[in-house]
Amino acid sequence: MEAALWTEKYRPTTLDGIKNQLEIVNRLKNFVKNRTMPHCLFAGPPGTGKTTAALCLANDLFKERTMDLYLELNASDARGIDVIRTTVKDFARIAAITEAPFKILTLDEADNMTADAQQALRRTMERYTNTCRFILCCNYSGKIIEPIQSRCAIFRFRPLKIEDISEYLTFIGKKENFELSKEGIDAIIELSEGDMRGAINITQSSASLTNKINEKTVYQVAGRAKPGDVKNLLNLAINGEFTKARDRLRDMLVIEGLSGTDILKQIHSEIFKLEIEEGKKIALADATGETEFRLVQGGGGEIQLSALLAKISLIAR
């Protein structure tokens, strides 16, 4: 097995390879056909193909000249106001010395840009439209200032469908010569929550341990508890066996080394699957939210989760 990241190795290079975003792909293909496009804002959850769509659009537009006419800056790069005034402005102002009508500059994770940088960017986008078009990728479009949003065509990406993720993981399995059981695929889909990049990373990590990937392997490499274990934990608390529930919680935190935040997220998910009264589900969801806030503020994981189990026991009565 190669050491390369599969997220890059199996990344689509043309718009035809993008999954589950048919409406968006068709709009982008029209840009390629007409060889013109507005500034664009790609918004949506992580791992749904925003950055890949920008690269595929550039590949289809520029062909072999993509490396010269396409620039991508990520949030990991310095992107304060000085970079907007230098790197971005220098790239945008110089016209392409080819038949290409413009260049493309992608700002990935644009919602992490400072307010000052966004204010500087709005003028750059307007001034150099003839030579450069901007694509801003973000998870939360609300963090992009209104003047920039008004200058862009907005594309909203949806989480990938279960069948699309399953099909692509099976395709990778055939290419890399490993077996992926149905239970293993279901576990990966459960953990990735529509994030294709996350699903592929979990698959690669699992394949580094064994050529026969099953549910147990997936949860082991992901550092997450099995849904059945969390369900048993909740049932113990609901049935009034608080001490047993707390002992099981300690095993998950200490022996299995699971994250308190991850356990809490799984508890929240399992609450809505419980066969209890609607009013009790509401109370349990409220208690889970309060615990999550305390954990974010720096509260001790074991103490806060033990308190949550105690609340669950009281509410269940």
CA dist., res. 253 & res. 309, Å (int) = 14
Q: What is the 3-state secondary structure (H, E, C) of the chain?
A: CCCCCHHHHCCCCCHHHCCCCHHHHHHHHHHHHHCCCCEEEEECCCCCCHHHHHHHHHHHHHHHHHHHHEEEECCCCCCCHHHHHHHHHHHHHCCCCCCCCCEEEEECCHHHCCHHHHHHHHHHHHHCCCCEEEEEEECCHHHCCHHHHCCEEEEECCCCCHHHHHHHHHHHHHHHCCEECHHHHHHHHHHHCCCHHHHHHHHHHHHCCCCEECHHHHHHHHCCCCHHHHHHHHHHHHCCCHHHHHHHHHHHHHHCCCCHHHHHHHHHHHHCCCCCCHHHHHHHHHHHHHHHHHHHCCCCHHHHHHHHHHHHHHHHC
CA dist., res. 181 & res. 114, Å (int) = 45
Q: CB of 106 within 8 A of CB of 51?
A: yes
In 3D, which of 292, 282, 135 has the Cα closest to residue 312?
282
Q: Would you state the CATH architecture of domain 227-316?
A: Up-down Bundle (1.20)
| pLDDT, averaged in runs of 10, over the chain (317 residues) | 74 87 92 92 92 93 90 73 80 80 90 86 88 92 91 92 90 90 89 88 89 87 80 88 89 83 86 84 90 86 89 84
Q: What is the pLDDT of residue 225?
A: 77
Q: What are phi and psi of 180, to 5 degrees?
A: -125, 110
CATH number for region 6-156? 3.40.50.300
Q: What is the pLDDT of residue 3?
A: 54
In 3D, which of 123, 119, 113 has the Cα closest to residue 143?
113
Q: Report in angstroms the alpha-carbon separations of 69 from 57, 63, 283, 316.
A: 12, 10, 55, 62
Q: What are phi and psi of 176, to 5 degrees?
A: -100, 0
Q: What is the pLDDT of residue 1?
A: 45
CA dist., res. 304 & res. 175, Å (int) = 45
Q: What is the pLDDT of residue 43?
A: 94
Q: Full-prediction pTM beyond 0.85? A: no
Q: CB of 156 within 8 A of CB of 43?
A: yes
CATH number for region 162-222? 1.10.8.60
- Partner residues linked to 70 by β-bridges: 104
CA dist., res. 267 & res. 259, Å (int) = 12
Cα dihedral 13, 19, 21, 23, rounded to 10, equals 80
Q: What is the pLDDT of residue 150?
A: 92
Residues belonging to the chain: 317
Could you tell me the residue ranges of all domains in the chain?
A: 6-156, 162-222, 227-316
